[in-house]
Structure 1
């Protein structure tokens, strides 16, 4: 049974698992899948080689030398194919690598450097590299199994199963190559990139508990501070399950001080302890993970950050693509509408007895609205397509959000109207730019 639970019950979405930080970190690497595939292919080749040896031994025991001769002929024909595949696979790998580099360069220049991680996390890209490398390694191993002895009485093994396995891997490689090209072309289209970002953002929101954050002072006084003693970097995630377990074992409540996505330096406090003395340092080792960049794991605001960056890039004079900015605004409004009525500001985690053990800060409603609209609003003046879509989005959110959350929306609406009035001298142009339109200029 798990040592912890999220506040709000099963309807609040799936709870994060203990191994999810490791899983997310591996997804952000590109080496794991190819290395795992090459290790697996060694095991598969060893099994196939043993099967080939036993097949030949069984036929020789039965003195069925005619069948052995037929297998030797098949192996000779397959050897030519395996040799050709071995030399061609490196060319395929080079083509895939070149396509990936071009796609990453274009996405980084046209959209945002933050979207590069989408290509790094692409399952089809990793699977294609992994299968291609595994096929190349398999062909080398199979070629070592071919012998020069053609006497059916003396031959010890014929790479029959190994050759068939190689042909299967070639077919799988070709299928993955077609899927990879299709996936890469999709990811080079901004609409699919934005859709992938929003999908990740919704998955993060679904894993966060929806319990009401504790009121100020409800946790009692701070009894100890835990300082960050690792390297400086962006706070990527925390091991929630372990922190809850440590807090339960020592009878304390832990409160994470920085938000996920904040930059932390050694010596700054990362955890506040409420209730008793601080747990021993070794118990909290490796519960806080930092890296060189933000990730989606546990970071509620990272999706809005990427969408805002894409819109800003599109509105820059070098790109000048307001339609892309409108597409980003569509998804910003969609995400804000989804979280407009859920508790924010903090995620609360309890142990299996229902006692509060961990409080993790998350962006509040005002923080998310400002993140989604502030910078775009500053660059939208002069682009009526964007101002009209922004006004329509603010009006839609004002209808969906509770009354106590309408203040930041009305503030952005008023500031946008003031900016348009200052920079647009013509009354007709001002009226046109300040007319809400969900398509921008429909």
Structure 2
């Protein structure tokens, strides 16, 4: 697995705009050089009429560039202020953790990057305009620079339309739930699944403790840990699970078979919030949060809870036949070689509890949700092997008991306990 640096940059909102502005600055320098060479070539050929025509064209374009430079920052402020209000509304309606979808959105970053780059480019181009109009004395005519600015303005308008559409989608629960689900499947696809997992690595010879700030274990640099373990002939095991809260002084890595390589602690990343990068249960956590918010008395939206149960069932169905409990990383390609790094992942029972336990507690009074949960559990029972049926049967029995306790009428109980994939269609 690659270094977590890419994921950290995706969770930041500054890298893409800064990189885009640096790139635009370099492109502007190139265009300025080319513009100077064009004028120099025409003057050497004594094509002063052509130089005069270029000066006239660029003078007309200057009005557009000036307008862009004065209006772009105001436009950026208005657009993103409205967008942040929309994101705040979405986080209040669904869960605060959906804000990360906005932060990681490629369209959002591309739009901000192009807007700021267009503003910077317009300022740079304005510095290239000369007051001299005599074709014999002109040293630079920003023709290519002006054309580039107009292209950037057109790109900004196009991205603005796409950005508004993307932001409106963020306010729709179906798109938010779908995005969370596919992010969860991305994590699932990156996990190294081995059918036969080794479990005995010998005694622990040394522990590595966390020395940084307290926070949530965000991810680990798997590639660096595997390389270090291979060089020293040891096996390294991550003690807390990704998503656990760790405090300074607690052991985070256990080394089997030798001394701990130097610098292992820097391979562990702790942050203030969880990330999808290596966290298999984070998607279920978000789906559950959205469902719980929908079932709260203040919102009372069981249909949203049903949509979350659809995706929870989908994700658990993909995990029903996979080995869980630990992810083992080997020092060879394609899963070959010796095991060098072991990372605990949630077990099947953990994931089933995460997906159903809290929603079950609040669904007893909502026949739509109880019917959908029963249908989802029945679907999983048909897919899961025999040894994984126990947590599903447990939740099914507890849900039935809760419905019986909260529903006095026998007919209502019978209706609420009838499995239905649409809840109440």
Return the TM-score normalized by structure 1.
0.94
Partner of 1:291: 271
- The equivalent position to 1:317 in structure 2, one of 271, 289, 297, is 297
Asked if 1:154 corresponds to 2:125, the answer is no
| In structure 2, C-alpha distance between the alignment counterparts of 1:117 and 1:107, rounded to whole Å | 12
Is the contact between residue 213 and residue 348 of structure 1 (CA under 8 Å) also seen in structure 2? no
1:225-281 CA-to-partner distances (Å, cap 9, x unmatched) read 11111111111110111101111111111111001000111110011111112223x
In the TM superposition, residue 285 of structure 1 has moved relative to its aligned partner by 4.2
| In structure 2, C-alpha distance between the alignment counterparts of 1:215 and 1:237, rounded to whole Å | 23
| In structure 2, C-alpha distance between the alignment counterparts of 1:251 and 1:230, rounded to whole Å | 27
- The equivalent position to 1:390 in structure 2, one of 373, 378, 403, is 373
**What is the root-mean-square deviation in Å for CA atoms of aligned residues?**
1.0
| In structure 2, C-alpha distance between the alignment counterparts of 1:153 and 1:276, rounded to whole Å | 78
Partner of 2:43: 60
Asked if 1:307 corresponds to 2:287, the answer is yes
Q: Structure 2 unaligned segments of length 5 or more: list them.
A: none
Partner of 2:79: 96
Bigger relative CO (Cα 8 Å, ≥ 6 apart): 1
Partner of 1:8: none
- The equivalent position to 2:160 in structure 1, one of 167, 177, 184, is 177
| In structure 1, C-alpha distance between the alignment counterparts of 2:90 and 2:84, rounded to whole Å | 10
| In structure 2, C-alpha distance between the alignment counterparts of 1:95 and 1:23, rounded to whole Å | 30
| In structure 2, C-alpha distance between the alignment counterparts of 1:277 and 1:143, rounded to whole Å | 62
- The equivalent position to 1:372 in structure 2, one of 322, 334, 355, is 355
How many pairs does the alignment contain? 422
| In structure 2, C-alpha distance between the alignment counterparts of 1:350 and 1:169, rounded to whole Å | 47
| In structure 1, C-alpha distance between the alignment counterparts of 2:155 and 2:218, rounded to whole Å | 36
Asked if 1:347 corresponds to 2:345, the answer is no
Q: What secondary structure is seen at the aligned counterpart in 2 of 1:286? A: helix
In the TM superposition, residue 212 of structure 1 has moved relative to its aligned partner by 3.8
Is the contact between residue 213 and residue 347 of structure 1 (CA under 8 Å) also seen in structure 2? no
Partner of 1:269: 251
1:345-401 CA-to-partner distances (Å, cap 9, x unmatched) read 000111126111111000000000000000000010111000000000001000000
| In structure 1, C-alpha distance between the alignment counterparts of 2:198 and 2:5, rounded to whole Å | 32
Partner of 1:85: 68
Q: What secondary structure is seen at the aligned counterpart in 1 of 2:266? A: coil
Q: What secondary structure is seen at the aligned counterpart in 2 of 1:318? A: coil
| In structure 2, C-alpha distance between the alignment counterparts of 1:99 and 1:189, rounded to whole Å | 16
